[in-house]
Amino acid sequence: MNADTVIVGGGIVGLCTAAAAVHRGDTVVVVDPGSAATAVSAASGGLIRRFDLGGRLGDLATAGFDRLRESAQTCAAFHRTGALTLQYSSQALPTHIRARTMLYAARAMRQRWPQITVPPNVIGVFEDGAGWVDAPVLLATARTELADRGVEFVTDRVDRLVVDQRRIGGVVTGGGRSITASRVVVAAGSSTTGLAATAGVDHPLRTRRIGYCYLRLGSDRTAGLPTIVDRVSGTWVRPCRDPELVLIGRRQEIFGVPAEIRHEISDADVHEIRTAIAQLLPEAADAPLVGGITAYDVARPDPADPPLRHCVEPRGLTVVAGWNGAGFKAAPAIAELALGDRVSVEGEES
Ligand SMILES: Cc1cc2nc3c(=O)[nH]c(=O)nc-3n(C[C@H](O)[C@H](O)[C@H](O)COP(=O)(O)OP(=O)(O)OC[C@H]3O[C@@H](n4cnc5c(N)ncnc54)[C@H](O)[C@@H]3O)c2cc1C
């Protein structure tokens, strides 16, 4: 079997890279042992927005936003709720807010969204066109569309990369299949480190715990609620398809956790989430628990280390993983970088 481009991993980054490669006329094979439903991407909260507090990820989220939203809209996976980012008023706002945003003082937020309580020293940046994506629906649709456009999906685990005279030559799967290609993109989440090592490439990553719970807040309280990224309490909130429910997650600084996704959440984690959200969304404190997810994301041990490498040797190999909890919203722009394109950010090149 051969292709112009082999993509190892069918999560959101792998699928977006497959879409970009097929768009430029490549023959493409995606290898993944699971379905799109088993990737970390399927457990993602799916909060997407252009606005970020700056930095490279903010640029990539801006660059990829329209494409991600458009794809999600065509399969009814996008929910436009607006996105509210909360921060202390003493914190500097980025000088380059590229999205169309509105700044809210605490009192104005209380008037617009009576279900949230924000202390006077906190401001909100509201991005009207943003929202959340139903990740499993988007991933399944993207996979079907890519198959229709000729992308071949191989359900197998890549065991090793093949290097031929300092160039990438393809991959070998656990099932014994050899796939030759002049370009290989490894977007295999936490497995990326081990696979890259088979071609002599160092791409260290570590897993980090991330989870969320669903609480039954009631449709009267969720009505009009935007997605919220609260940088003060470290929580993020979004409405759900079921208007009775709200999803609340909290970033955890727990590293080296098993690379597994469990459709449950511990009492201790729920307690931590309820405590953290108590001021912002007081009714969440005793709203009934409906379920949750305990998962992991991959982070770079040294944040200065780039999450994407175009390898000088072997040529033709790109490894891409470690977006520290923001890989979903940035995926279309990451895909273009993975194929070696310069990513345009609202007229600038970065
Ligand atoms: C609970 C949670 C909430 C999140 N919320 C948000 C959010 O709101 N917004 C946001 O922007 N980001 C969010 N993130 C982060 C984002 O979801 C991830 O950064 C992103 O989905 C990672 O995508 P990926 O394609 O790199 O990896 P993955 O989705 O992990 O895909 C990797 C794929 O590689 C495959 N694979 C592994 N080993 C091999 C092998 N040897 N051979 C072949 N295939 C292999 C796996 O089966 C998998 O399908 C969240 C993450 C989590 C866990």
Q: How many CA atoms lie within 13 A of 75 on its CB side?
A: 17
pLDDT at position 98 is 59
Contact 322, 298 (CB under 8 A): yes
User: Three-class SS of residue 175?
Assistant: coil
| CATH H superfamily, domain 83-128+206-299 | D-Amino Acid Oxidase, subunit A, domain 2 (3.30.9.10)
β-bridge mates for residue 206, sequence order: 299
Q: Where does CATH 3.30.9.10 sit in the chain?
A: 83-128+206-299
Atom of ligand 1 nearest to the CA of 13: 25
Query: What spacing in Å lies between the alpha carbon of 350 and ligand 1's midpoint?
Result: 24
Atom of ligand 1 nearest to the CA of 261: 53
Taking 3-state DSSP, the helix, strand and coil percentages for the chain, each rounded to the nearest 5, stand at 30, 35, 40
Give, for ligand 1, the residue of 31, 44, 160, 298 to mutate: max count of ligand atoms closer than 8 Å to Cβ: 44
Give ligand 1 pocket residues (Cβ under 6 A).
8-14, 31-34, 38-41, 43-47, 157-158, 187-189, 191, 195, 210-212, 293, 295, 297, 321, 323, 325-329
Count Cβ atoms below 10 Å from residue 247 Cβ, excluding itself.
22
Query: What spacing in Å lies between the alpha carbon of 295 and ligand 1's midpoint?
Result: 10
Cα 109 to Cα 296: distance, rounded to the nearest angstrom: 32
Give, for ligand 1, the residue of 328, 329, 334, 337 to mutate: max count of ligand atoms closer than 8 Å to Cβ: 328
User: Three-class SS of residue 174?
Assistant: coil
Mean per-residue pLDDT pooled into runs of 10, the chain (350 residues): 97 96 97 87 93 70 86 94 93 68 93 95 94 96 97 98 96 97 97 97 94 97 96 94 96 90 96 94 94 94 87 94 86 92 44
Torsion of CA 45, 48, 49, 52, to 10 degrees: 50
Round the CA-based radius of gyration of the chain to a whole number and report it: 20
Cα 68 to Cα 149: distance, rounded to the nearest angstrom: 18
Atom of ligand 1 nearest to the CA of 212: 1
Query: What spacing in Å lies between the alpha carbon of 25 and ligand 1's midpoint?
Result: 26
Q: CA distances (Å), 151 to each of 6, 14, 239, 320, 333, in order?
A: 10, 12, 34, 20, 20
Domain spanning 1-79+132-205+301-350, CATH architecture: 3-Layer(bba) Sandwich (3.50)
- The single residue listed with the structure tokens 């998962």 is 295
Confidence (pTM): 0.94
Q: CA distances (Å), 222 to each of 79, 204, 225, 256, 285, in order?
A: 14, 41, 5, 35, 15
Atom of ligand 1 nearest to the CA of 330: 11
Atom of ligand 1 nearest to the CA of 298: 19
Q: Where does CATH 3.50.50.60 sit in the chain?
A: 1-79+132-205+301-350
